[in-house]
Structures are given as structure tokens and as C-alpha cells.
Chain A
Amino acid sequence: MNSEEPMDFKEMRRLWCRQDDAPDDRSGKELMMEIQQRGAQLDRMIFWRDARETVAAVVISAAAVVASALVPGWLPKVGALALVASLAYICLRLARARRRTEQEPQPPPVTQGLRAELARVEAQRDILHKSRDWYVVPATLGGTLWAAGMATSLDLPAGDALRAVTAVLIAAPAIFTVVGLAVLAGNRLAIRRRLDPYRRKLENLLAEVEG
């Protein structure tokens, strides 16, 4: 119950409620059009985010499977399977993270909403931080196995075959490691530039409301 308050605040509330700054010249039709545009924008953003994440995986998987099918031997096929499995695992992790970070259906109280948003940001940071474990390592293992399998399928004399496989076992992890380090660096940059400032903003907001 609001207890007696200074006169100036009572007057301030009356003054406040008398103002009318609503954007009053937009018709219902115009407003609905804007809402639908925003909805379409959001759908497009989600679509392209999903597409980016899966198209690369699908293209690489398809290329590995086709390449391994064209050469004899079981090892290239095992390697392709390992690569496809690692890419599928990556897509699954991303999909699970997305489900965890989807908006709650009911609008929560403000403090709960801020905490939920903070949890979403933490989950995203966690994913990006651990990308070495769930992205780089599986892709490196799968890719190396596939490349080694392709190397063993080459019709070479024994000594050359051994050298080829050795070269692949050295080169493939090295290439994937370089690519992986680039991915890690990109993730760390995203955390520093985007997620960390946003997290600080949320923490400050929570402190201001709860303080």
C-alpha cells in the first residue's frame, strides 16, 4: 500500500499521467504491417543462422562421402563416416544450445527476465569457449581419419603408400588444427566484442533494479 507521500510526488504522478506521447497517427493497419515486417525479419535471421550452420556441414559431408565412394577400400569410407558423425555431433550441440536459449513462452517478471537473458548469454559463451572440445577436436579426428583412408586407397607401391599415409597423418591434423585455431580465435573475439559487453549490461541492469 502506498503510504502518505510528499505533495510534489503526487502532483508529479498526475503530471506524468496527463501526458500523451503515444505515436497516435499510426493506424491499426500500419502497426500490424510493421509487426509483420519485424516477424518476417526475425524468421529470416533464424533461417539464415540455421542455414549457415548446417549447409557447411552438409556440403563437407556430401563431398567426403562421394569422394570415399569413388575409391576402393573400406578405410576411406570409415573415415567419411567418422567425419559425417563429427559434423552431425556439432550440429546436434548447436541445436541443443538453441533450444536451451529459446524465449520462455510467458513473459517473466523483469528480474527473472534479466536473469534468463543472462543465462542465455552465459550458455552462448560456454558454447563458444568449449568449441575446441565439441567442434575442433571431433572435426580434426574425423577429417584426419577420412584423409588417411583416402591416402591408403591410392594405388601406390608399398613404400610410397606408407609415405603418403604418413604425410597425410601429419598434414591433415596440422591443417585442421590451423582451421580450428582460426575458429577458436573468432569465437574468443565474438565473446570479447559482443557477449561480454552485453553480459555486463545485463548484470548492471539487474543490480539497478534489485540494488
Chain B
Amino acid sequence: MRFLDLIARNRGRLGRLCRVYAEAPADRDDLFSEVCFQLWRSLPSFDGRAGEDTWLYRVALNTALLYRRRELSRRSAARAFERQPRTAGIEGTAAMRLEEHEQRARLHAAIRRLEAGERALLTLYLEELPYRRIAEITGLSEGHVGVKLNRVRKKLTRLLDGEKR
């Protein structure tokens, strides 16, 4: 119960992180399952020292960074194909949501062109985590996080500008 409550509370952020590291819906589902599996394995040893956010992101990122696409069963691929994410299905959506959807698609396309390690830092930043928390999760110093993020943000801006053209 405790574990399922944890997953329910953090489903959104885990889903967003999985999307960064797995483009195809079937791979995203697979990665999400793998992250949940690793969280399950890690839960007994979680002593609360690091804080739930830090623990969760450490497990999720360590898993996502080393994720390798598996040969998925036809069943899991079909299930992923059938599932429609809430951001899809734009028929009848207001102009604002359509624009938001397009902006998000451009953002994801740009993020995919970053290196895997850069994506990790950027994801934590976009999740509105403070630098101190990002430092705890990544093992970098707070100053180093600031410098790295500055570089990654500039790179992302260049990629987004390139996307616009």
C-alpha cells in the first residue's frame, strides 16, 4: 500500500522523466515499469535520511540513464499503442491548449537532442527542484549545478531557436 501510494503521488513526475529517456510509448511504459521495479527493490532500505524526493529521483535517474531497450512482447507494445496520453487528442481543444501542445512537442524534440547526462540535469530543473536538491540527487556541488545548468539552458535555447526555423 505504501509503495502504491508512493507511485500514485509521483506518477506524473516519473512519467515526465521516462518520456525524456524513452521516445516510443512502448519503451516509455517499459522504462516506467523498470523504474517502479527499482523503487520497489530500493524501498526497504530507504531510511528517510535523504528525503523522499531525493531518493525517488536518484533511483529513477540511475535507472533511466542505464536503461536499455528490451525486446518487448507484442502485447505490451499493443497496450502502449492503444493508450492515449492526456496531452494527445487535440480535436475540439481550445487554441491555447493546442499552442501549449505544440510548444511542448518542440520542447521535447529539443530535449531529445541533448546528451543523456544533460537531460538529467535539465529534467530536474524543469521539475522546479531547487539547485540544492539537484546537487543532492546528482552528487554535484550546488555551484557546479549552477554552471552546468547555465550551459545546458543555453544549448537548449539554441536548439529551440533551431526548431522554430
Query: Which residues on B are within 8 Å of A, measured CB to CB?
Result: 4, 7-8, 11-12, 14-16, 18-19, 28-29, 32-34, 36-37, 40-42, 45-47, 50, 55, 58-59, 61-62, 65-66, 80, 83, 85-87, 100, 103-104, 107, 115-118, 120-121, 125-128, 130-132, 136-140, 144, 148, 151, 153, 157
- B29 and A23 within 8 A (CB): yes
Which of A17, A38, A209 has the largest count of B CB atoms less than 10 A from its CB?
A: A209
Query: Do residues A109 and B139 form an inter-chain contact, with CB atoms below 8 A?
Result: yes
Chain B residues closer than 8 Å to A32, beta-carbon distance = 4
Given contacts A109-B139, A111-B139, A209-B140, contact A38 B103 (CB under 8 A): no
Known contacts: A35-B33, A106-B45. The answer to whether A114 contacts B131 by CB under 8 A is no
Tell me the minimal C-beta distance from A109 to chain B in angstroms. Answer: 3
* Residues of chain B with a CB closer than 8 A to A25's CB: 83
Residues B126 and A12 in contact, CB atoms below 8 Å apart:
yes
Residues of A within 8 A of B (CB): 1-2, 8-9, 12-13, 15-25, 28, 31-32, 34-35, 38-39, 105-114, 117, 204-211
Q: Is there an interface contact between A24 and B118, defined as CB atoms closer than 8 Å? A: no
A63 to chain B, nearest CB (A): 38
In the complex, which residues of chain B have a beta carbon less than 8 angstroms from the beta carbon of A112?
A: 139
Beyond A9-B153, A16-B107, A22-B15, whether A38 also contacts B58 by CB under 8 A is no
Return chain B residues, CB-CB under 8 Å to A208: 115-118
Contact of B104 among A15, A107, A204, A206 (CB under 8 A): A15
A22 touches B107 (CB 8 A): no
Check A20–B87 contact: CB distance below 8 A.
yes
A107 pairs with B62, CB closer than 8 A: yes
3 residue pairs, one from A and one from B, having the closest CB atoms: A208-B117, A109-B139, A22-B15
Residue of A nearest to B121 (CB): A209
A31, B33: Cβ atoms closer than 8 Å? yes
Q: Please state if A35 and B36 are interface contacts (CB–CB under 8 Å).
A: yes
Q: How many whole Å from A142's CB to the nearest CB in chain B?
A: 39
Give Cα distance in the complex from A211 to B47, angstroms: 31
Cβ B126 vs Cβ A21 within 8 A: no
Q: Which residues of A contact B130 (CB under 8 A)?
A: 1-2
* Minimum distance in angstroms from B40 CB to a CB of chain A: 5
Contact B37 A38 (CB under 8 A): yes
Please state if B28 and A23 are interface contacts (CB–CB under 8 Å): yes
